[in-house]
Amino acid sequence: MSFKHLGQAVLIIAIAAACGKNRVQVTENGLKYQIHEQSDNERKGKVGDILTMHLTLLNNKDSVLRDTHKEGAPFQMLLQVPPFKGSYEEGLTMLSKGDSATFYVSADSLFTRAMQPLPPGVEKGSDIGIAVKVMNIQTEDEYKKSQAADFEKQKAIDAKIVDDYVAKNGLAGKGQKSPSGLFMVTTQPGSGPTPKPGDVVLVHYTGKLLDGKVFDSSLTNPQMGGKPAQLQIGVGMVIPGWDEGVMKMHKGEKATLVIPSTLAYGPRGNQGIAPNSVLTFDIELVDIQKGQPGQMGMPQPQPGR
């Protein structure tokens, strides 16, 4: 074959490969998909791996239902055996780190299996478009090691932020910093007992970002009607900084907690709270009770934290 013919053959192959991308294809199990980017990396996702990816959910009119790009942190999931035919988990096993694709999944199957009603904007019998960009693929052991390394790195960053905040606001010498990184200042002593793990506490609280912006308060939250939040303490039902700080307080005590992100909402953040945010909470421990909590006044921690 001449160089001319060889060049033409290479061009035809390249064009054919390009045409294969972004073309809707269907697996034997009925999953419809488009591949946008695909590398030659042989390591692809398999059942049991932890996938880190950006994800965009679209209804059948291409309206965005969720976009992790706008949430400030990618989505992480344990890749499981596809729960139904045409599930997007099957498609994820085709992808490597850096690859991107869109999967089209039956909305009825997706939400019925999850025992959830169809969300607003999703029609019965329609498909959900799930556009993904794979950022990383890790075994469970690799994931745990990277999480531990990231935690220690962020803990050091948070420690400096907390120290700077304490110094700037004249709190040095007025409170104590624990080995975990939590800084706590008692603003009104209490003479009552301290709660034990599993106790139900009633607390008034105001949560702020370090710039002073209030993101939540029991005093102004319309769902609470000005009543104290009622929650179970010391059993992982609230962020770790709350468990540690509130369990040191006496009934009737008021305190300010400066909570590093590693004891708050971590790298995923929360509604109105950016990832890796150091937070402050003004807390009043109103009462301590035994038994199960009623209304949970504080949001629960992110999974795995």
- Highest mean pLDDT among 61-65, 108-112, 257-261 belongs to 257-261
- 75-82's contacts with Cβ under 8 Å and 24+ in sequence apart are 76/50, 76/51, 76/52, 77/50, 77/51, 77/53, 78/48, 78/49, 78/50, 79/45, 79/46, 79/47, 79/48, 79/49, 79/50, 79/51, 80/47, 81/47, 82/29
263, 224 Cβ separation under 8 angstroms: no
Q: What is the pLDDT of residue 291?
A: 63
- Residue 20: pLDDT band (50, 70, 90) is low
Nearest-angstrom CA–CA distance, 3 and 174: 81
* Per-residue DSSP letter, 250: P
Structural tokens at position 293: 């909590």
Domains and CATH numbers, the chain: 3-138 (3.10.50.40), 155-289 (3.10.50.40)
**Given a cut of 60, is residue 12 above it in pLDDT?**
no
95, 44 Cβ separation under 8 angstroms: yes
Which range is least confidently modeled, 4-18, 100-114, 132-146, 218-232?
4-18
List helix spans (H) across 235-279: 240-246
Which range is least confidently modeled, 9-23, 93-107, 188-202?
9-23
Nearest to 285 by CA among 249, 236, 235: 249
Summarised one tens digit per residue, pLDDT across range 241-294 is 999 999 999 999 999 999 999 999 998 888 889 989 999 999 999 999 986 554
Nearest-angstrom CA–CA distance, 100 and 133: 4
Q: What is the pLDDT of residue 38?
A: 93
**Given a cut of 80, is residue 158 above it in pLDDT?**
yes
Q: What is the pLDDT of residue 14?
A: 41
Q: What is the pLDDT of residue 114?
A: 66
Instruction: Provide DSSP, 138-154.
Output: E-HHHHHHHHHHHHHHH
Average pLDDT over residues 119-128: 89
Residue indicated by tokens 């001319």: 4
**Could you tell me the pTM of the whole model?**
0.69
Residues belonging to the active site: 205, 215-216, 239, 265, 281
Work out the mean pLDDT of the chain and round it to a whole number: 87
Q: Which residues of 147-165 are buried (b: 16+ CB within 10 A; e: fewer)?
A: beeeeeebeeebbebbeee
Q: What is the pLDDT of residue 305?
A: 34
